[in-house]
Structure 1
Amino acid sequence: MTNSTQDSAVDRTSQLEEEGEVAADYLEELLDIADLDGDIDIDVRHGRAAVEILAEDEGSLKHLVGAGGEVLEALQDLTRLAVQVKTGERSRLMLDVAGFRAQRRTELAEVAERAVARVKESGTEVALEPLNAFERKVVHDVVAAAGLASDSRGVEPHRYVVVQPAAE
């Protein structure tokens, strides 16, 4: 790595750490307003700031996830906006609450692996249920790792992934 490349990587990491700090401040204020107890963990993963709200009683945070994670998605969007307002840069940070996304990632990987097996067995494409952008990305990654193809079809909020046989 050249010095300028190293400097660029260091600058990017410190920018992501700053995003995490701004997000943590925003979320701490939100937790105070909502009178919820929670700890905030900040990290940099996969080239993104990663922030997670944790609590000893994770059930106390269920309102921040919502059924199927829709409240979590909205909270992530609001947090990204708060970071953008403060830094002037568009944020791609990932927010998790009480391990919801981590658990969902595991579930989606299993769904994707079953779809891959069905496509390999039948040779025909398999369409999955509608998924949000985070969920589609997880599926696309699993499908690509298995050597098959996939694409997203439909229009939000009914966008879904189709797993296809590998291109010849």
Structure 2
Amino acid sequence: MSVSQDATEPTVDELEHEGDVAADFIEELLDIADIDGDLTLDVRQGRAYVSVEAEGSGIAVLSTPDTVQALQELTRLAVQSKTGSFSRLILDVGGSRDTRRRQLEQLVDAAVAKLDEGASQASLPSMSSYERKIVHDVVAERGLISESYGEGHDRHTVIRRR
């Protein structure tokens, strides 16, 4: 079951297997950190989606954006090591994805305010491809245009009016 990055999209069965492998890896990490958590697996928009819910201060530390991003990358590497397939899974810890979406919406609001003040365009900070996708969706919902510029860690989104 090897799906390369350039191959066709993985099947639902392959994504569910990817989620299972990711959940096993995350459960081991939670055990090491002595955090009790409930994991939910799903397939959304062609990606395995793993959500971790837990109580207590341990989950608060794990749910910061930078930590979630790092855990997601580690989990993707673990899945790739186990399956031999590139992974684009999404990890959500303690509702961190909803929190990040609200933060990104606020960034877009601030950019729109600059446009309202007369700026021809507004640039957002560098962010992951997943976050840029959310920004592009929010910008489109608001009737504006967005494009990504730059390479690697410097890739960012620029917003302008139609």
Larger radius of gyration: 1
Please point out which of 55, 58, 61 is paired with 1:60.
Answer: 58
Deviations 1:18-41 (A, max 9, x none): 111100001111111111111111
Is the Cα contact below 8 Å between 2:63 and 2:95 reproduced in 1?
A: no
Give 1:36-115 correspondences, 5 Å limit. Answer: 36-57=35-56, 59-66=57-64, 69-115=65-111
Is the Cα contact below 8 Å between 1:84 and 1:90 reproduced in 2?
A: yes
Does structure 1 residue 143 correspond to structure 2 residue 139? Answer: yes
Q: d(CA) in 2 for partners of 1:15 and 1:82?
A: 15
Q: Partner of 1:127 in structure 2?
A: 123
Secondary structure of 2:120's aligned partner: coil
User: How far did residue 123 of structure 1 move?
Assistant: 6.7
Q: d(CA) in 1 for partners of 2:69 and 2:159?
A: 25
User: How far did residue 115 of structure 1 move?
Assistant: 2.9
Gap runs ≥5 in structure 1: 1-7
Q: d(CA) in 2 for partners of 1:77 and 1:13?
A: 21
Root-mean-square deviation over aligned CA pairs: 2.5
User: How far did residue 47 of structure 1 move?
Assistant: 1.4
Is the Cα contact below 8 Å between 2:35 and 2:54 reproduced in 1?
A: no
Q: d(CA) in 2 for partners of 1:35 and 1:49?
A: 25
Deviations 1:118-168 (A, max 9, x none): 5367371112233333322211111233342212234554443210222xx
User: How far did residue 117 of structure 1 move?
Assistant: 5.9
User: How far did residue 74 of structure 1 move?
Assistant: 1.0
User: How far did residue 95 of structure 1 move?
Assistant: 0.2
Q: d(CA) in 2 for partners of 1:145 and 1:47?
A: 22
Q: TM-score if structure 1 supplies the norm length?
A: 0.79
Q: Which has the higher helix share?
A: 1
Q: d(CA) in 1 for partners of 2:63 and 2:55?
A: 16
Call closer, same or farther: CA 1:112–1:35 in 2, change over 3 Å: same
Q: Could you tell me which amino acid in structure 1 is paired with residue 40 of structure 2?
A: D
Is the Cα contact below 8 Å between 2:39 and 2:51 reproduced in 1?
A: yes
User: How far did residue 78 of structure 1 move?
Assistant: 0.8
Q: d(CA) in 1 for partners of 2:69 and 2:99?
A: 15
How much identity, in percent, do the aligned residues show?
A: 48
Q: TM-score if structure 2 supplies the norm length?
A: 0.81
Q: Could you tell me which amino acid in structure 2 is paired with residue 132 of structure 1?
A: S
